[in-house]
Amino acid sequence: MESMDYSLKAGGKRVRPCLALEFCKACGENPEKAVPFACGVEMIHTYSLIHDDLPDMDNDDMRRGKLSNHIVYGVSTAIIAGDALQSLAFETVLSEEAEKICGSHACVKAARTLANYCGAVGMCGGQMIDILYEEKKAGIEILREMDEKKTGALIKAACEMGCIAAGADEETIALAREYGDNIGLAFQIVDDMLDVISTSQELGKPIGSDKENDKSTYVSLLGIEKCRELAKEATDKAVKALDGFKGDTKELKDFAYSLLNRTN
């Protein structure tokens, strides 16, 4: 439990849980309805970070400005902590408390959505593509597929699950998916840019590893200026998707542009 808490409470931007809460509000419901789903998404994200940092994966010693889980607790404990957080995520989404708040149908739908986006066709699939291209250059299409799964999948899950908590229809969920898809793209492009122009102190994690490992990134393939253009274009598309919501979307719009202009 200590190792799970260490990473889960280590801080970070909390992008995914915030999106779940805000999309519930955008659908005209109290965002507190989405809290169990928001927690579930963050647990999945945290488990993925613990495993990403392991020596046989990205081999990073720092995460969110602190020592990585496996550096503090050892590799075996870090693996178990990640596995346990994955299980706890679904336990939370399908909990009696969540069922009382959202209803059993919404809980099952949210769990199915989360499972789809974090599994072989989503986040894990993206990580596998990343591993397959460790020793060879990926083109822009492969890079887009990898990042859409590795980074974008959980962002889309959070957006959709917020709508599911609110009882939204499929058309509305599709708009949330469009927002999440574009925000995920912008987020990754900016992340690649920061790996070049920022510092490890600002980011709270090592920088320059992609260049050091000769991995393809949006910056290496397109250059900084083109990346700025694409990130802005994707953000504008995400904000446009919010026009179809009846509730308050101000925070989601501000959130989109804050991610575009972030420095860490």
Domain ranges of the chain: 2-260
Residue 59 main-chain phi, psi, to 5 deg: 55, 50
Residue 240 has pLDDT above 90, yes or no: yes
Return the percentage of the chain with pLDDT > 90, whole number.
77
User: In angstroms, how far is the first alpha carbon of the chain from the final one?
Assistant: 28
Give the list of residues 6+ apart from residue 67 with CB closer than 8 angstroms, or none: 61
Across 159-175, average pLDDT? 98
Sign of CA dihedral 185, 186, 191, 196: positive
Q: Given its phi and psi angles, is residue 245 left (phi above 0), alpha (psi -120 to 50 degrees) or beta? A: beta
Q: Which of 145, 148, 154 is nearest to 116 (CA)?
A: 154
Residue 82 main-chain phi, psi, to 5 deg: -65, -45
Domain 2-260 coded CATH 1.10.600.10: yes
67 beta partners:
62
Tens of pLDDT along 6-34?
999 888 889 999 999 999 999 999 999 99
The per-residue pLDDT for 198 is 62
The per-residue pLDDT for 208 is 56
63 beta partners:
66
Tens of pLDDT along 207-229?
555 655 667 899 999 999 999 99
